[in-house]
Structure 1
Amino acid sequence: MQVGELESRSLAEQAADKIEQMIIENQWNPGDKLPNEMDMVEKLGVGRGTIREAVKILESRNVVEIRRGKGTFVCNDIGKIGDPLGFRFASDKKKLAEDLSDFRAMLEPQIAKIAAQKATDKDIEDLQRLCDEVESMICNGENYSERDIELHTKIASITGNSIVEQIIPLIAQGVSIYVDLTNHELAGTAALTHQKVVDAIRSHDAIAAYEAMKAHMKENRENLELLKKK
């Protein structure tokens, strides 16, 4: 790479950082459209080529998305990459499922405990709906993974903790890999343990919510152990 190319790349990185700062300072939300290319040239005092390169950098960071013919927009899941820890490349999916199950067991009971303390009537209504949908899908032999993820994600979001919200993708990965690995055949009493968690949150019983989620995590882990015997 020539010196000129290095300088150009450095300038593009700086422009990308400045655009990120604009998004933060202007409190632009997911789906908001960024100023057009010429406005960016004027605001940042750089050339069009540098702006285009900066936008590509931000696209790779999942900060913006380019919609052909429409412009550049703030990403829905801004800054979040679909598989940040590269789980899809793990060769031993069973070991990965076990590790994720153990990780969830460390966190989700406490998350449920906090959710029981903070849940609103609307939160509880949403949880019950998701719980009912998961139960119905299990009974019908359908793939319930997506709804299961929504249920656990909702519980985590109720905490209102920004760090917890950042690890929700790990919880989702754990649910998804578990369900896929067990081929939906080991749902066991998931519907019952889900309901116990929701009931405890509805009662704002933090200890009961903790214990119900702990039991749910224990059941999942035991189901994974059953896979070793097959």
Structure 2
Amino acid sequence: MSKSLVNITINKILNMIKEQKLKPNDKLPTVDELASAFSVGRSTIREALKVLSAQNIIVIKQGAGTFVSEKEGISRDPLGLEYISDDINVIFDMVTLRLIFEPEMASMAAQFATRKDIQDIKYYCEEVEQLIEQGEDYHKADAGFHIAIAKASGNGVIHKITQVIHSSIKKNIFMTDNILCKDTVIFHRRITNCIENGDINGARYAMINHLDAQRQFLIENYKYQLNRRKI
């Protein structure tokens, strides 16, 4: 099988996704349909789909078909943080980075959010709250909440950056578990209400308070860990 033919087919599939404006979770044509459309063999299509799946551009579900990925091409560890051993500093730096732009992102969402955007934000806000109440893992829903706000900002680059950041947070987010769960619910409600009401400054400061609470916890946790290392 020619690598160049596979690469050409990959580009054709990508162009098809763009031209047809397919969204995350939209279904792609079948292997047979793609092979016919691009005048290549089924094995070439399968190889091209395998590459796109590895790049998180599509998701192949056995028995269901091929779909546009929600991750939109973001790799599993896009910032290369997986093998950094200094967990505390990584988390602290991540929260500090988020403090730089997420408050403004929230204020933009309060200004530009559509009805659908607000519905999505409220959905994730409620899902996070329910999962916390049930004592279940809420990190995927929490990421969904912040990514929905990024989308509501109307800035495509902010949306993409937020996806990258939150795909990297999972590595060590467990360190803030339990201690900040109740605060998370309160802050998320405030942020959601401000965005829904078009309160630009309120959304900005609600996000600052939310992330600063995490940052302050990490400062205290960092001191605690340092003290333990000295013993």
Q: Smaller-chain TM-score range?
A: 0.7 to 0.9
Give the structure 2 partner of residue 74 of structure 1: 67
Distance 1:79 1:175, change over 3 A: closer
Contact 2:150–2:162 at 8 Å: present in 1 too? yes
Unaligned runs of 5+ in 2: 225-231
Change (3 A) 1:46 1:108: same
CA shift, 1:111, in A, is 0.7
Change (3 A) 1:213 1:10: same
Cα–Cα, structure 1 residues 67 and 207, in superposed 2: closer, same or farther, change >3 Å?
closer
In the other structure, the counterpart of 1:114 is 108
Cα distance in 2 for residues equivalent to 1:49 and 1:131: 43
Give the superposition deviation at 1:93: 1.6
User: Post-superposition shift, 1:158?
Assistant: 1.5
Q: Match of 1:87? A: 81
2:109·2:149 contact (CA, 8 Å) conserved in 1? yes
Aligned match of 1:212:
206
Match for residue 61 of structure 1? 55
Give TM-score scaled by structure 2 length.
0.76
Residue 127 (structure 1) shift: 4.3
Counterpart in 2 of 1:33? 28
Could you tell me which residue of structure 2 aligns to residue 44 of structure 1? 38
Whole-Å Cα distance in 2 between the matches of residues 124 and 21 of structure 1?
30
TM-score w.r.t. the length of structure 1 is 0.76
- C-alpha deviation, 1:101, in angstroms: 0.4
Which shows bigger deviation, 134-143 or 173-182? 134-143
- Say if 2:12 is the partner of 1:18: yes
Identity of aligned residues (%): 32
Give the drift of 1:213. 1.3
Report how many aligned residue pairs link the two structures: 222
Superposed CA RMSD in Å reads 3.2
Change (3 A) 1:121 1:16: closer
Residues 122 and 192 of structure 2 are in contact (CA less than 8 Å); yes or no, is this contact kept in structure 1? Answer: yes
